Amino acid sequence: MAWVFQEPLPENLVPIVVEDPRILRSTAIYDLSEVYVGKPICLRLNETESVVFREFEEFLKTEYGLNFMERLPPPPPGHLAPEKVSLNVS
């Protein structure tokens, strides 16, 4: 299944999709709102392995010169990787 948006994605939609692996693997989301304001950018969230969606993306690239950008949410504020600290004791 694919969801194609002409308007910017609702901010609460992306976390819902990302948190549910079943939706993430079966649904491709395309945000074409930038295209409608004259920018050749399509934001996408597509973790499916569908040949149909890959062909759709190739068509949009070839015919309309669109560039795709992944639309993943930023990591939560406390999600920084811990620093590796070494302690040398002599």
Distance CA 45, CA 25 (A): 10
Residue 18 lies in a domain: yes
Q: Output the pLDDT for position 55.
A: 95
Query: How many other CB atoms are found less than 10 A from the CB of residue 30?
Result: 23
What does the alpha-carbon distance between residue 33 and residue 2 come to, in Å, rounded to a whole number? Answer: 16
The domain containing residue 8 runs over which residues? 2-70
Copy the structure tokens of residue 21. 């692996």
pLDDT tens for residues 19-69?
888 888 899 999 999 999 999 999 998 888 899 999 999 999 999 999 999
Counting the structural domains of the chain, the total is 1
What are the structure tokens assigned to 67, written together? 């560039």
Q: What is the dihedral of CA 6, 70, 52, 31, to 10 degrees?
A: 0
**Domain assignment present for 61:** yes
User: Under a CB-based contact definition with an 8 Å cutoff, are residues 59 and 90 in contact?
Assistant: no
